[in-house]
Amino acid sequence: MAFKSKEMAKAYWRENVRLMFVLSIIWFIVSFGCGILFVDTLNQFRIGGFKVGFWFAQQGSIYVFVVLTFVYASKMGKLDRKYGVDDES
Amino acid sequence: MELQTLTYIVVGFTFAIYIGIAIWARAGSTKEFYVAGGGVHPIANGMATAADWMSAASFISMAGLIAYMGYGGSVFLMGWTGGFVLLAMFLAPYLRKYGKFTVPEFIGDRFYSNTARMVAVVCLIIISVTYVIGQMKGVGVAFSRFLEVSYEVGLLVGMTIVFIYAVVGGMKGITYTQIAQYCVLILAYTIPAVFISLNLTGNPIPQLGMGSTISGTDVYLLDRLDQVVTEIGFSDYTNHVRGSTLNMFMYTLSLMIGTAGLPHVIIRFFTVPKVKDARTSAGWALIFIALLYTTAPAVAAMARLNLHNTINQPGSAESLEYAERPQWFKNWEKTGLLAFEDKNGDGYIQYTPDATSNEMVTLDRDIIVLANPEIAKLPNWVIALVAAGGLAAALSTAAGLLLAIASAISHDLLKGVMMPDISEKAELLASRIAMAGAIGVAGYLGFNPPDFAAGTVALAFGLAASSIFPVLMMGIFNRRISKEGAIAGMVAGIGVTLFYVFQHKGIMFVASTAFLGDMKENWFFGIEPNAFGAVGAVVNFAVAFAVSAVTKAPPQDVQDLVEFIRVPVGVEAAQDH
C-alpha cells in the first residue's frame, strides 16, 4: 500500500466516492431529467429553433457528458497528487 | 466521373491504407495480439476506441432510425454517449490498475472461481455475437449498395473481407488501423452533413443548422419538419415519444450501462500505460464520439425533410411520379431494401403512414444515411466517401468484437481453464479459428437479422447491461460479494433478459420460434425487448446481494485485491516485450 497510513487510504477513497457521486447526479439530471422526465415542461421554452427539452435529449446532454469525463480525470489527477499516489514512475 | 468508378477508387484507396497499416503493425506475440503491448497514447487510444465503438449501427443505422423516431430516437444519442461517463468513472481506471488481458479474467480472479470466469465467457460470447449480427446487417447494406447487388450477396462479400481483415491483424494492427478508420468515418459523416446543412439553412455547422431557419424563409427547420410530417399523417417529429416515458427511460439506461459493460470497449482501456491515462482515454474517446453523435440528429432531421420534399413534394398538388424517380431511388431498388408498389395504379408515389395506402412498401431505415447525400444531390465524390466511411465503421467494430470473442475463447477458456500449458503459438491459432467461427455464425444469422442494425446492436447492449456491468461494479465497489453471489447474479440477469428477448424475437433470433410474438400487448409494463437490459441489471444486483448475504465472505486475499485496485500507483508495466 502506497499510502502513509490506513486513514489516508480511507480519506482518499472517501473523496473519490464523493466526486463520483456529485458527477453522477449531474449526469442523471441532464440526460434522464432534462431529456426524458421533464422534457415536456422544458419544451415550452426555446433556444433558437430548438425546444429546450428536445435540445437536451439530442445535443445538450452529450456536451455535458464530455465535460464530466474531463472534470473527473483532472480532479482525480489532483487527488492522486494530494495523497501522493500518482503514478509518475 | 461515374459514381461507381469513383466509389471503387475511394473505397479501394482507404482499404489499401488499412491493409498497409495492418501489415506494418503485425502482431508478433499474444500480448500484442490482445492489448497492443499496452503502450498506446491516450489520444490515439481514444480515437481507436471511438472507431471501435462507432459501428455500422452508429454510422449507417442510427440517423436513419432517429429520422423516423424523431424525439424518441434520443434514446440512442444519450444512451450510447452517457455510458462513457460511467465507464470513465466507475470501471476503466480500476480495471486498468488490475492489469490483465480480458474481462472474464478479472471476474475469475475477483470472484476466486473458474466457474465465474466461465459464466462471464459465455455471457461475453452471447453479447458479442449478437453485436456482430448487427454489424453484419450494416456491412450487407453498405456492400449491396456499393456493388449494386442484392443484400444477401453484399453480406457474403462483407463477411469475407471482415474475415481476412480481422484474422490477420490482432489488436496491434487493429489499434493503428482503427485510427485511420476513425479519420475516414468522421470525415465521411460530417462532410455531407455540412453540405446539407449549408443547402438547407446556410449554416455550415450541422449542430447549429438544425436549430436555424430554412434559407430564404423565417421558418425554423424543426418547425417546418414537424409541419411536413404531420400533414402527411406521421406523428410530430420533436415530440414523438418512443413507447412511453418509462420505456424511453429504461431504453436509455440499458444502452448506458450496456456501454459500460461491453467487453470489447473495456478491453481498450487495458491498452494504455497508466491508470490516469485510462481516465483521460475515456474522455478523448467521448469527444471523438460526440463529434458524430451531435451531428447525427441534424443528419436525421435534414434527411427526413429532404426525403419528404423529394417524394411527397409538399406545396405542389401531386407527389413524385414513379417514372420520374431519381437515380438513387433506382439504385436502392436493386438492393431490395427499397421497393415501390403502385397500389392505386395512378403512377404517382403515395407515401403515407397508413399501411393499406402506403406505396413505399419497403423503405429500410438502414439506407437513409447512405442515400442521404444522393437525395440531397451532393457531388459524386461525397457519396463515394460516405460508402467508404460506412465500411470503415463496420469493419473496425467487427474486428474489435471478433478480437473480444477470440480472446475469451483462446485466453480464458483454453489457456485459463482447459489447457493451461498451451503454447503461445497454439493460443494465437485457436483465437484465429474462434474468430472465423464467430464470423460464420453471425453472418448466417445476419441473413435474417432480428431488427435494423441499430436495433440488433441495442439488444447486445441489453445483454451486456444485465450481465457484465453489474458484476464488475460489485466486484470493484463491494468487497463482500461472494463467488456464489456473482455467479447467481450473472446467470439470473442475462437469463431474465434473454428469456424476455427470445420470447418476443425468437430463440437465437429465429423469428418462427418467438412464442409470444413481437407484440406490444405482451410487453412487460410496455418495455420493449431492446430496453429490457436495465430490468435484467436490477435482477442481477438483487440476486447477487441476496446470495452473498447468506454465503461465506470472500477470502482475505480477494478483499486485499479490491483494496489494491483502488489505488492508482504501481501499475504493472504494460509496455512492449
Summarised one tens digit per residue, pLDDT across range B81-134 is 998 899 888 888 888 888 777 788 888 888 888 888 888 888 888 888 888 887
- B202 contacts on A by Cβ (under 8 Å): none
pLDDT at B45 over 50: yes
C-alpha cell belonging to residue A55 = 435540445
Residue B255 and residue B463: Cα distance in Å, rounded? 10
CB contact under 8 A, A2 and B280: no
- Asked if B97 is an interface residue toward chain A (Cβ–Cβ < 8 A), one would say no
Query: Residues of chain A whose pLDDT is less than 50?
Result: 1, 89
Q: How far is B78 from chain A (nearest CA, A)?
A: 7
Q: Domain span at residue B80?
A: 23-309+374-565
| Cβ(B304)–Cβ(B64) below 8 Å | no
Q: How far is A41 from chain B (nearest CA, A)?
A: 12
Q: How far is A8 from chain B (nearest CA, A)?
A: 11
B361 within domain boundaries = no
> ipTM score here?
0.91
Give the model's pLDDT for residue B286.
92
SS (H, E, C) B33-91: HHHHHHCCCHHHHHHHHHHHHCCHHHHHHHHHHHHHHHHHHHHHHHHHHHHHHHHHHHH
CB contact under 8 A, A77 and B276: yes
CATH number, position B110: 1.20.1730.10
Domain count, chain B: 1
CB contact under 8 A, B212 and A13: no
- Asked if B212 is an interface residue toward chain A (Cβ–Cβ < 8 A), one would say yes
B1 within domain boundaries = no
B352 within domain boundaries = no
Q: How far is A86 from chain B (nearest CA, A)?
A: 6
Residue B266 and residue B282: Cα distance in Å, rounded? 10
CB contact under 8 A, A48 and B293: no
C-alpha cell belonging to residue A81 = 497528487
- B570 contacts on A by Cβ (under 8 Å): 2, 87
Question: Which pLDDT band, with edges at 50, 70 and 90, does B577 fall under?
Answer: very low
CB contact under 8 A, B211 and A49: yes
B357 within domain boundaries = no
User: What number is the average pLDDT over the span B413-442?
Assistant: 78
Minimum Cα–Cα distance from B73: chain A residue? A58
CB contact under 8 A, A35 and B74: yes
User: What number is the average pLDDT over the span B470-486?
Assistant: 88
Residue B316 and residue B294: Cα distance in Å, rounded? 33
CB contact under 8 A, A87 and B82: no
B9 within domain boundaries = no
Share of chain B above pLDDT 90, in %: 6
CB contact under 8 A, B569 and A47: no
- A1 contacts on B by Cβ (under 8 Å): 563, 567
B323 within domain boundaries = no
Q: Where are the domains of chain A?
A: 6-82
Beta bridge partners of B338: B363
Q: Of the candidates B106, B194, B25, which has an alpha carbon nearest to the alpha carbon of residue B475?
A: B106
| Cβ(A3)–Cβ(B570) below 8 Å | no
Compare CB distances from A47 to B211, B276, B280 and report the shortest one's residue: B211
Helix/strand/coil for B348: strand
Alpha carbons within 13 angstroms on the beta-carbon side of residue B527 total: 22
